Amino acid sequence: MPAQPRSPARRPLLLQLRRKAQMPRDKSWFFKQNPFTSGLPLAERDRLERASEERDLRKRENLWLSGDPVRHVHLVRSGLLKTSRVSESGHELTLHLFQRNDLLGETALVLLDKDRKHHETVCETLDESTVYAVPAEAFLRAIQLHPDLAMLVTRLVADRRRALEKRIDSLLFKTAHARLASLFLDLQVRFGVRDSRGTILNLKLTHREMASLIGASRETVSFAILDLRKDELILTEDKRVVLLDEERLQALARS
């Protein structure tokens, strides 16, 4: 049966939808949809947008180094970043990963003395990234005026503290295999994409980067991944991990 022509009444609507899809997603669009700013009154959101500075970062570029002044909070528009601590001997422990729409540098909101600095933490990109740097004073003013934003930031700080406490427990009491299983299950929540085989972790991490996330050596991670692949718990392809048996991974993570 031949396709029916679209009615003239529908054509303007279709054209509007196409034009909307082709509209550039500019800075205003980002602040309008970002979970930390979308609920603010228009005037407040516009004020933060005007105060912010867009920063385009190359892969493996530092957003800040240990000892740098703390002047901004950052909203992630695109890419992937991490914060980490590096010991005097050069061993690195990754603290958090950040992706689109995340807020990082929230310590700038509580370290209000003139000499505030990033103490012992480094922020580095794992991919080409774009962030909006918002002056800490401007963001703090929005928090003080708008309780909903204050609650969002409070929950964020609490969630990150719980995540770190869980990581400490894992570092102290679990084997490398169990820590790796826990890592994959945690990453699944934010980066997991279902397919016919299981869940793909939609980010590329090297063995060294995984090692810094679980507090192990690169060699230990490589051996553990071989064991998990042999036991048919995971697959690896193009630096991505596919979780094949989440139930057994959860049992391993609890061991």
In the chain the beta strands, taken as DSSP E runs, fall at 53-57, 62-64, 72-78, 81-86, 92-98, 103-104, 122-125, 129-135, 192-194, 199-201, 234-237, 240-243
Mean pLDDT of all residues belonging to the chain: 87
Q: Which of 123, 113, 109, 110 is nearest to 68 (CA)?
A: 123
Is 13 a residue whose pLDDT tops 60? no
Average pLDDT over residues 150-178: 90
Q: Which residue has the higher pLDDT, 123 or 107?
A: 123
Range scoring the smallest mean pLDDT among 102-116, 134-148, 219-233: 102-116
CATH topology of domain 174-254: Arc Repressor Mutant, subunit A (1.10.10)
* DSSP state at residue 221: H
Give residue limits of the domains in the chain.
Answer: 23-164, 174-254
Dihedral (CA of 119, 122, 161, 105) sign = positive
Secondary structure (3-state) at 44: helix
Cβ atoms within 10 Å, residue 235:
15
Per-residue pLDDT, 20: 46
Angle between helices 246-254 and 176-191 (to 10 degrees): 130
CATH superfamily membership of 23-164:
Jelly Rolls (2.60.120.10)
Global pTM reads 0.81
